[in-house]
Amino acid sequence: MSLEELGRLFPIILSEYNPDWPAIYASEKELIEHAVGKDHIKRISHYGSTSIPGIIAKPTIDILLEVSDDCDNEELIRNLVDIGYLYNPQPRDPPPHMMLMKGYTPEGFVGQTYHIHVRYGGDWDELYFRDYLILHPDVAEEYSKLKRRLKEEYQFDREAYTQGKAAFIQSVVKEARNEPGRIE
């Protein structure tokens, strides 16, 4: 399928904040822990806009799954596929270069969507960004406005939508890394 066809099948959808998102994440986290086994998990974090109270979001629960260096990645993939995830290699992402998704079908979105970003344990920008926006609602509102504008311009182009947020995210992460007060 071409990127244009994928963009039409899976357009950018933005939703007002849903106070159920943290509970939806918590339920999925338990499912993941059971499937993967806590021995291989260093940390699981809810991040992305669904983890930030009050802002608009693509209604996808983003999960950062940090695994131990000795985790059997093939087994990890099998276990997550067994609970409904699709494996998507991500050669440009940090090791182990993988993402898994749920809620995507050949007909489009079905039910709740999830993205599991698998990484080895580390100090990740995404968590700084999340925490900073939680602590600074004014910046979170700026981010919401940017996302609304980008959605209007790039509703069927996920790559351009994501790229359009990059400079804002990088500037916030830089500020966040210099500020004390991580939430997690």
Q: What is the DSSP string of 75-125?
A: HHHHHHHTTT-EEEE-TTSSTT-EEEEEEEETTEEEEEEEEEEEEES---H
Distance CA 105, CA 99 (A): 16
In this structure, of 3-12, 86-95, 127-136, the range with the lowest mean pLDDT score is 3-12
Q: Convert the pLDDT of each residue in 9-52 to its tens digit.
A: 889 999 999 999 999 999 999 999 999 998 989 999 999 999 99
Domain boundaries, the chain: 3-177
pLDDT tens-digit readout, 57-67: 999 999 999 99
Tell me: the pLDDT tens digits for 153-169? 999 999 999 999 999 99
| pLDDT computed for residue 1 by the predictor | 62
The reported pTM is: 0.92
Q: From 3.40.449.10, 1.10.8.60, 3.40.50.150, 3.30.460.10, which CATH number describes the 3-177 domain?
A: 3.30.460.10
- Counting residues of the chain whose pLDDT is more than 70, the rounded percentage is 96
125 or 181, which is more confident? 125
